[in-house]
Structure 1
């Protein structure tokens, strides 16, 4: 059997997995997350899912989760959408069950590492990954290494104050729900058909995202920013207003050396989880 790395993406609604064999993701599948069950039940569900992959010769297991993690100890500190999953020694649990190296990190950090290792971010030493969907996530790669920060909280620009709320309120799907009372995908279809109100929605969205990216540029000045998440598919609708806002950035030389790219990976979460195993122990933590 070919050596394989197992990547898991644990979310509030589903647990998705896949194995990397010779640089290609295979055997991608998912199961529902028993988010309303107790911790032991959730852990056993994860274990059963991992066990279903053991017909592959698994070398290591990478896990991405939508919450904060003590990366050194492999402890999940909390998940907003899974109430019972608080202070879970997930690495210890999985290692004791299967005897394989286990690496865990925040899913947005995994996204940044995944696009750096396997996607459009390959050629950049310094990049930021931003996921645009139901929420906003951020991950940072510095000198070719993932920077997780304390409890994997680096890149959490979503919670930074902006206008009367925070960046997530204006740069995620929440913006379209709260101001236009529609889902981004539905509004995108209307905008493509020429609906002026929908076009205006994406122009405003591009402005807000531009302000977020300016915030990031002042702190990090990366070579590239890679956009992921479902809203990235509507990029042509907000690209112009995004760049119009970026044009007000104070340091033109930073903009001249910046590339804004769209992730082309279909399974960025799994790629990112796999990348944790492939890159360790070079992950940088504060």
Structure 2
């Protein structure tokens, strides 16, 4: 049974360092209105009480008993056993906290925990960007279809995830797609996260505007400054998002050279995509150079901005042609253009995480 047809309900959570966003999903649709509460990350007992009360509120809002709990939590974690490790954004978790087993004991239902970046991309692969693009390709008459999706989230940190042929790829240590620790093109001694998150935009703006970091506006305000809709240093704002796009594009190029699929972007900074997505595409389509100076494409595939109507049209059209099977009068459609598309979340980050958590829980329940 496909997840969109499944009648079971799963309680979900998107856990961040500041807020916990609770919800529930049934048949790939939100079963309740999501709500957020402060995480209370300063104190473990208070934080755990917040989690328990949040799920109790979700359960009490449902018309039928939930089949499971499934949610996103930052790493490092032993996700398969539900044990939370030493977290940077949730400092009250130290030394290993058996969060999953605790919730199973309290609610009496299976509990599954996974990485937020992984579940975001899983949700977009099931009901977001991946099926959206394949529908557009079908409508355009193209024989091209995509099975793989790589994605990143740009927010407090820099996260990522991979799905391969409809399945979440986690790795043997559940450490796959840890894009935050990829190299940083512009600051090689730092991880890519320091160029692909909220503080990276603020730091770059402060440096370009000649102000202390503590006086830098929030990224949404820097975006409005860059668009000319808010007072501030417009050139510094544009440069800050260009820098983010270059660092993120470099990290995405390294991943996409291995994954070879579509790419989706979400997270708290994603609303500013008009100022950074063109830089990402430029980086993906950039060149390396041989010792002779001869250029070599950074990616074998050509990258397209799926939010740009002209680029989307070219992406959908491709280079489709008809070829004849030798020795017959039969023809086949052939599209020899290797290409990838990069687009923004079609579900919204939190809803994508919820749907990904739902599908992950159903897969696990079906194996019990």
Q: Given the two structures, how large is their TM-score scaled by the length of structure 1?
A: 0.88
Contact 1:68/1:152 (8 A) holds in 2:
no
Specify the alignment match of 1:185 in structure 2.
220
Q: CA deviation at 1:281?
A: 6.1
Deviates more, 1:61-70 or 1:118-127: 118-127
Q: d(CA) in 2 for partners of 1:257 and 1:50?
A: 43
Q: d(CA) in 2 for partners of 1:49 and 1:80?
A: 22
1:210 aligns with 2:258: no
Specify the alignment match of 1:35 in structure 2.
41
Specify the alignment match of 1:6 in structure 2.
11
The structure with the largest strand share of the pair is 1
Deviates more, 1:177-186 or 1:129-138: 177-186
Q: CA deviation at 1:143?
A: 2.0
RMSD: 2.3
Contact 1:107/1:269 (8 A) holds in 2:
yes
Counting only pairs closer than 5 Å after superposition, residues 1-286 of structure 1 correspond to structure 2 as: 3-25=8-30, 26-38=32-44, 40-55=45-60, 56=62, 57-86=65-94, 87-122=96-131, 123=134, 124-162=146-184, 163-181=188-206, 182=216, 183-193=218-228, 195-221=234-260, 223-248=261-286, 249-253=297-301, 255=303, 256-266=338-348, 267=350, 268-280=352-364
Q: d(CA) in 2 for partners of 1:5 and 1:53?
A: 10
Secondary structure at 1:54 match in 2 = helix
Q: Structure 1: which 4+ aligned runs deviate by more than 4 Å?
A: none
Q: CA deviation at 1:3?
A: 4.1
Q: d(CA) in 2 for partners of 1:246 and 1:52?
A: 45
Number of aligned positions between the proteins: 280
Q: d(CA) in 1 for partners of 2:91 and 2:172?
A: 22
Larger radius of gyration: 2
Q: Given the two structures, how large is their TM-score scaled by the length of structure 2?
A: 0.70
Gaps of 5+ in 2: 1-6, 135-145, 207-215, 287-296, 304-337
Q: CA deviation at 1:217?
A: 1.9
